[in-house]
């Protein structure tokens, strides 16, 4: 396995609420790397890809570029620079939808004057092959966190399924996809990083990560919280407040505080084998725990979501932007249905526009 190309992109994959904003800001603080907060282009546009037709055709490509830039304009975490649609239509970075996405990121990279761009949309775990088809030297950081802690965070955040049982289902599916990528392309392409190790031993883990990426560690990476990017992130939403703080291990074990016993057992019932394979303990009672009924999950999800939205409306500066984005996503899906070729998400848990994305 050869090392990464000097300018190859970096993608953080896994599951939201696993510390991806922390890792994004650590890497973004490097003098050669820029990782803007993601509009989740592939997450929202990949199900529409067939409706665009052949993206080798300039008219079809223009339609896809227009939809992608519409997402960017409604992004819950604004980018600092304008992206020129004409340049992408005339010369995308590669074939297919990801070629368009890559061209958008490339314009951002050029605007900020860094050598490499990265993407922290953890949903890219489902598009590893697409990325490697355009950038064979791309590198993926599989960031994983104890699913009970993930579910505890999601229970109170606007991003991700709020019900622990649903969050566990999504966590299991995404870790299985990440494991398949690691098995297929190997540790030279996919680097497994546990959130708990990152926050407990940041200097060591950042050093190992830089070795994987072919970069030299820089002191600024562990002072990420002092950057303008961290301050901007921390000020936009309650779920991101810790972005403006130093690396801390105080959120390890959050599931013991944020979930009740039954909820933790539900998570372990769903995620148990995968959780155990990644070095996390599983409660032996989980196997005999009764799964919640579908109606119970649905009703509890509505209750949790109502609380979350009320709190977000009061506390989050980007609340209206998120609602505008979600309306826009539904509009894109309606247009795709009219054109033909809309393919709903294969995840089958909760529609993306309702469950949100960080």
| pLDDT tens readout for residues 236-259 | 888 888 888 999 999 999 999 999
Q: How far is it, in rounded angstroms, from Cα 174 to Cα 204? A: 26
Q: Which one has a higher pLDDT value, 6 or 77? A: 77
Query: Is the distance from CB of 41 to CB of 70 less than 8 angstroms?
Result: no
Residue 343 pLDDT exceeds 90: no
Q: How far is it, in rounded angstroms, from Cα 159 to Cα 357? A: 5
Give pLDDT, residue 5.
Answer: 52
Residue 348 pLDDT exceeds 90: no
pLDDT level of residue 352 (50, 70, 90 thresholds): very low
Q: How far is it, in rounded angstroms, from Cα 350 to Cα 341? A: 20
Put residue 248 in one of left, alpha, beta given phi > 0 → left and psi -120 to 50 → alpha.
beta
| pLDDT tens, residue by residue, 121-144 | 999 999 999 999 999 999 999 999
Q: How far is it, in rounded angstroms, from Cα 21 to Cα 24? A: 5
Give pLDDT, residue 240.
Answer: 83
Whole-Å CA distances, 220 to 20, 22, 30: 18, 13, 7
Detail the DSSP E strand segments found in 120-250.
139-144, 190-194
Report residue 162: phi and psi, to 5°.
-80, -25
**Running DSSP on this structure, what letter comes out for residue 47?**
G
Q: Is the dihedral of CA 44, 48, 52, 53 positive or negative?
A: positive
Mean pLDDT (the chain, rounded):
92
| pLDDT tens, residue by residue, 264-284 | 999 999 999 999 999 999 999
Nearest to 64, CA basis, from 84, 28, 88, 87: 88
Coil, helix or strand for 124?
helix
pLDDT (average), residues 163-191 = 98
pLDDT (average), residues 300-312 = 94
Domain 10-351 has CATH 3.40.50.300: yes
Residue 345 pLDDT exceeds 80: no
CA atoms within 13 A on the CB side of 324: 13
Query: Is the distance from CB of 149 to CB of 253 less than 8 angstroms?
Result: yes
Give pLDDT, residue 237.
Answer: 83
Report residue 207: phi and psi, to 5°.
-65, -45
pLDDT level of residue 2 (50, 70, 90 thresholds): very low
CA atoms within 13 A on the CB side of 157: 23
| pLDDT tens, residue by residue, 52-100 | 999 999 999 999 999 999 999 999 999 999 999 999 999 888 889 999 9
Residue 7 pLDDT exceeds 70: yes
Give pLDDT, residue 353.
Answer: 36
Residue 184 pLDDT exceeds 60: yes
DSSP states of 282-306: --GGGGGSPPPPHHHHHHHHHHHHH
Give pLDDT, residue 355.
Answer: 45
Q: Which one has a higher pLDDT value, 3 or 284? A: 284
Give pLDDT, residue 4.
Answer: 53
User: Percentage of the chain with pLDDT > 70?
Assistant: 94
Residue 9 pLDDT exceeds 90: yes
Give pLDDT, residue 212.
Answer: 98
Give pLDDT, residue 159.
Answer: 82
**Residue 334 exposed, middle or buried by CB count within 10 Å (0-12, 13-18, 19+):** exposed
Nearest to 136, CA basis, from 185, 187, 208: 185
Q: Is the dihedral of CA 129, 134, 138, 142 positive or negative?
A: negative
Residue 340 pLDDT exceeds 80: yes
For residue 328, how far is the Cα from the chain centroid? 19
Annotated domain spans of the chain: 10-351
Give pLDDT, residue 241.
Answer: 84
Give pLDDT, residue 351.
Answer: 38
Nearest to 120, CA basis, from 198, 16, 49, 223: 16
Give pLDDT, residue 26.
Answer: 97
Report residue 357: phi and psi, to 5°.
-145, 140
State the pairing for strand pair 116-119/33-34: parallel
């Amino acid at each position: 396995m050869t090392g990464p190309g000097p300018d190859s992109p970096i993608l953080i994959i896994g599951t939201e609420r696993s510390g991806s904003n922390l890792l994004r800001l650590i890497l973004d603080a490097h003098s050669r790397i820029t990782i803007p907060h993601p509009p989740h282009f592939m997450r929202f546009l990949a199900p529409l890809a067939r409706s665009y037709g052949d993206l080798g055709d300039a008219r079809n490509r223009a339609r896809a570029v227009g939809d992608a830039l519409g997402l960017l304009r409604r992004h819950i975490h604004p980018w600092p620079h304008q992206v020129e649609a004409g340049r992408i239509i005339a010369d995308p970075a590669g074939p297919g939808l990801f070629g368009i996405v890559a061209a958008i990121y490339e314009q951002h990279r050029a605007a900020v004057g860094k050598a490499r761009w990265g993407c922290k949309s953890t949903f890219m775990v489902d598009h590893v092959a697409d990325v490697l088809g355009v950038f064979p030297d791309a590198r993926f950081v599989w960031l994983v966190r104890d699913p009970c802690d993930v579910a505890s965070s999601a229970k109170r955040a606007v991003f991700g399924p709020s019900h622990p049982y649903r969050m566990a289902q999504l966590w299991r599916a995404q870790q299985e996809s990440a494991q398949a990528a690691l098995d297929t392309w190997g540790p030279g392409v996919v680097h497994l990083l546990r959130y708990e190790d990152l926050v407990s031993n940041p200097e060591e883990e950042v050093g190992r990560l830089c070795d994987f990426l072919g970069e030299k560690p820089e002191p600024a990476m562990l002072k990420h919280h002092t950057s303008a990017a961290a301050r901007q992130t921390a000020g936009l939403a309650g779920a991101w407040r810790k972005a403006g703080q130093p690396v801390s291990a105080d959120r390890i074990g959050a599931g013991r505080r944020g979930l009740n016993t039954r909820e933790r057992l539900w998570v372990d019932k769903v995620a148990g084998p995968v959780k155990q394979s990644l070095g996390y303990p599983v409660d032996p009672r989980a196997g005999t725990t009764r799964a919640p009924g579908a109606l119970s999950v649905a009703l509890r999800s509505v209750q949790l979501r109502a609380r979350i939205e009320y709190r977000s409306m009061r506390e989050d500066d980007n609340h209206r932007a998120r609602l505008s984005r979600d309306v826009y996503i539904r509009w894109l899906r309606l247009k795709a249905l009219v054109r033909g070729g809309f393919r709903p998400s294969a995840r089958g848990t909760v529609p993306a526009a309702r469950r949100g994305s960080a």
